[in-house]
Amino acid sequence: MATMNFGGVEEKVVTRAEFPLAHAREVLANETIAVLGYGVQGPGQSMNLRDNGFNVIVGQRKGSKSWDKAVADGWVPGETLFELEEACQRGTIIEFLLSDAGQISAWPMVKKHLTPGKALYFSHGFGITYNDRTGIVPPKDVDVIMVAPKGSGTSLRRLFLEGRGLNSSYAIYQDATGKAYDRVIAMGVGVGSGYLFETTFKREVYSDLTGERGTLMGAIQGIFAAQYDTLREHGHTPSEAFNETIEELSQSLLPLVAENGMDWMYANCSTTAQRGALDWWKRFRDAAKPVFEQLYESVKSGNEAQISIDSNSKPDYRVKLEAELKELHDSEMWRTGETVRALRPERN
């Protein structure tokens, strides 16, 4: 583990140079990693572990679309693909990657198979942090660890196939065996992390829920819609409004910001753009900061968790979700986006 300076603050990180893949394989040589769930994180993590040479099995409900997807991805029923309970029985490290609502439902079954010395692995701090609401209280004689990739399972897999990695946070909630640190870092390396930075289950879920509702998804969609609608109301065409709001940002600017930082972007744009950005960014910050404070308090209080638990457990959840997603899909902005994406030149 190394200590690195991030903007003047010292943090602990682990790189693959310090904890190479070969060592991770040694640490987990006698483990069977059971990945429960094949939805958002399950495919990327399980396939990366498999390709990295670990002993991995997948647990999924037979007959589901996710079961069929696992089969298509090369998992063999009866050999590396099992029903959830059998995977729990076989696994020594149980990756609990079901949805938050799915974890609540499956917890009694999973807990039954958490025999002494096993490890319970999460990629999200939700179930443990809000255990007064989820009921997920692990036995004291198992390790409880977390590796949380900072991106979707699709991105984790794509970057792995490109020979790169997606940064992940890691945390140890309970070290019953004395091996929790080696186990969690080996798992982080195995699933394809770029580097690993230390957190806690509580800090992870607070930052994650804030980010999802904020700049990663909720706030960014709100800002897109506000600018797009303003341009349209002032007579700009859908194509012009979309290109100035989203296309230029996503296709040109964000990749450069990711490579070099926003300060570099400011220094390498036109003087007119520089002046405008420098004059306006603090006004947007000051307008948004109170909303983010409200959001963080809602996360910290457990209100956001309870809303998720209540809505996701309703029998008509999927129907209502599809209706809300359809509203986004059918908006002029995103219908325009479909046309714009189709017009992008093919790469040769």
Torsion 314-319-323-325 (CA) sign: positive
Q: Do residues 338 and 237 lie in contact, with contact meaning Cβ atoms separated by under 8 Å?
A: no
Q: Which helix (H) or strand (E) holds 221?
A: helix 218-233
Beta strands in the chain (DSSP E): 2-6, 9-15, 33-36, 56-59, 81-82, 93-96, 119-122, 143-149, 166-174, 193-198
SS3 label, residue 69: helix
Please name the residues in contact with 278: beta carbons below 8 A apart, sequence gap of 6 or more. 266
Rounded to an integer, what distance in angstroms lies between the CA atom of residue 240 and that of residue 335?
13
> What are the angstrom distances between the C-alpha of 312 and each of 122, 272, 281, 321?
19, 47, 36, 9
124 is annotated as an active-site residue: yes
Hey, how many other C-beta atoms are within 10 angstroms of the C-beta on 124? 21
- Beta-ladder partners of 122: 146
Rounded to an integer, what distance in angstroms lies between the CA atom of residue 86 and that of residue 133?
27
Which residue in 124, 234, 236, 329 is the catalytic one? 124
Among all residues, which ones are annotated catalytic? 124
